[in-house]
Structure 1
């Protein structure tokens, strides 16, 4: 059986964008390479494992690929964990969030908002870990990286639901617009530079929310949004960081 790979474009964005943001903010290090490959392989392992919980057919193959990805991921994670043992604190959090995702998968209810939120939190932990590897410490910026990503991808959940499964639900569309507008105002009150990462998501919510658009177009919008979010988050960070002497 050929390798099993996730097809959701949103998942690929969530596994890479928080990690890259944490890396740029904390400072790129060569240790980011094995950390990213390990993180990526854990993401790949989660997909066949969820399929194994949802389908009886080919379950053995799903479990086999999940274990292969997981074992390879552990190999890549050995150097970062030896270099930065504090990363082990992320383990219990990820396991707990993964169990929630598995629970929803076993009930074939992966579209649940709570399930989406737990997945976003898990990916944001990856961003925090990436920051720690670069900065060498858990500090306030660790939380900033994680929260910034959670707020952005939560908006993506609202948007995607408003153009697909909940497109005809006026309440969901209003919630999406209200969330993005409130986020933009909140960011402006904290720091004007923080508006930049959330400007395009707000435009996206008002321009395309509630409209029938093709999945390919929605995917392109999400990819563009993720790239802009990453770029503008890095710009906002360096623009607001106190100068070093």
Structure 2
């Protein structure tokens, strides 16, 4: 019986092109420890500092500002370092923490050498920084306690700057500080109602309630040794903040707002707070 011819081999199927994870789904990079990514913190960080520099007109404010801003960079890197679970990540985050910490410490030392009485401010800042550090260590960096402590610390930078100029820190300056603290603390509540606590009726009521209390701070300006212009502008700014805290989250249910939009719409109120500080 003749042998049957062998069947021709089937042509091999062309290999499917491998889909690189990098090409289609790029690997998500970790947070850059050298550059803080909390963009909403910049207004809170800089507004009291810059208005304080403008009002004080002293050279001592320069190293204070450097220590404050670079200190924030150090705190951001330290937060990442505290949350890191493996040695490689901790080593990656330790370097910016150490570099920024050294720069901030040198700037603070220079400021104290120029004006030793600045050391008294450590009594006010130490407990506030401690609260923020503990909350970060507990992995709750965005808690109300952490946010409130940092906003109060930021507002205090205004009287710190004024204290470098003899006679500049007046009751009106303290009033402007209270307005700053009330406004920026209110933004913590407001932003949460727009993003993390969106739809939470209880938190919404707490936010509106806090903003109503903040308005009382402004109204008190007419009863204190504060100029009519400062008191009136403060009342206007904090009243507008109350209106937006009450109305915008309700409107957001029908039209979603991005974090960027929320931040941009805060600019007019920030400018109003800056004007209050410059009038003080």
Could you tell me the TM-score, scaled by structure 1's length?
0.84
Of the candidates 198, 217, 220, which is equivalent to residue 261 of structure 2? 217
**How far does the alpha carbon of each residue in 1:1-31 deviate from its partner, in whole angstroms, 9 at most, with x for none?**
9761111122211111121233344x22232
* Uncovered stretches (5+) of structure 2, i.e. residues with no partner: 1-30, 223-230
Structure of higher RCO (CA pairs closer than 8 Å, 6+ residues apart): 1
Structure ranking higher in helix proportion: 1
Matches for 1:1-245 after TM superposition, within 5 Å: 4-25=34-55, 27-57=56-86, 58-135=89-166, 140-141=171-172, 143-191=174-222, 192-193=231-232, 194-210=234-250, 211=252, 212-235=256-279, 237=280
Following superposition, the deviation at residue 197 of structure 1 comes to: 3.4
Distance 2:73 2:268 in 1: 23
Deviates more, 1:41-50 or 1:128-137: 128-137
* Uncovered stretches (5+) of structure 1, i.e. residues with no partner: 238-245
Q: Over aligned residues, Cα RMSD in angstroms?
A: 2.4
- The answer (yes or no) to whether the contact 1:128–1:142 under 8 Å persists in 2 is yes
Distance 1:88 1:23 in 2: 18
- The answer (yes or no) to whether the contact 1:128–1:143 under 8 Å persists in 2 is yes
- The answer (yes or no) to whether the contact 1:90–1:125 under 8 Å persists in 2 is no
Could you tell me the TM-score, scaled by structure 2's length?
0.75
Distance 2:218 2:237 in 1: 9
